[in-house]
């Protein structure tokens, strides 16, 4: 499944277009490498998401077949770390 679709289905980002823009700005990493929005994600991949004030590292446990209910989204990934990003003005 494409990374932009996966992030949207698992409620890790609000919309698919936000996921695509984040990929374009290299804010989404798969296994430590910048990803394109069309890059495929597999079970066991680590995804780093640097959006808003936090950088979240997640491990993909399983890939959904279709749409996912918001209450069940957490069954598909495991959060490894969530670090607050400090912005220096």
Give the pLDDT confidence of 68-77 residue by residue, as tens digits.
999 999 999 9
pTM of the predicted model as reported, rounded to 2 decimal places: 0.88
Give the pLDDT confidence of 54-67 residue by residue, as tens digits.
999 999 999 999 89
- Phi-psi domain of 34 (left: phi exceeds 0; alpha: psi -120 through 50; beta: other): beta
Share of residues in the chain with pLDDT > 90 (%): 91
**What's the rounded Cα separation, in Å, for the pair 62 and 77?**
7
Task: Identify the pLDDT of residue 52.
Answer: 86
Note the CATH architecture for domain 3-84.
Answer: Roll (3.10)
pLDDT at 89 exceeding the cut of 90: no
**What's the rounded Cα separation, in Å, for the pair 71 and 2?**
22
Domain ranges of the chain: 3-84
Enumerate the β-bridge partners of residue 77. 60
Q: Judge contact between 83 and 54, C-beta under 8 A.
A: yes
Q: Strands 28-30 and 46-51, how do they pair? A: antiparallel
Task: Identify the pLDDT of residue 29.
Answer: 96
pLDDT at 23 exceeding the cut of 90: yes
Q: What 3-state class would DSSP assign to 29?
A: strand
Task: Identify the pLDDT of residue 37.
Answer: 94
Task: Identify the pLDDT of residue 86.
Answer: 81
């Amino acid at each position: 499944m494409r990374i932009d679709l996966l992030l949207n289905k698992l409620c890790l980002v609000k919309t698919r277009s936000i996921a695509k823009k984040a990929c374009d700005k290299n804010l989404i990493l798969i296994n430590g490498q910048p990803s394109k929005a069309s890059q495929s994600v597999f079970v066991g991949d680590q995804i780093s998401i640097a959006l808003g004030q936090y950088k979240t590292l997640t491990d993909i446990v399983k890939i959904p077949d279709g749409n996912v209910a918001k209450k069940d989204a957490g069954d598909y990934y495991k959060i490894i770390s969530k670090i607050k990003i400090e912005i220096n003005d």
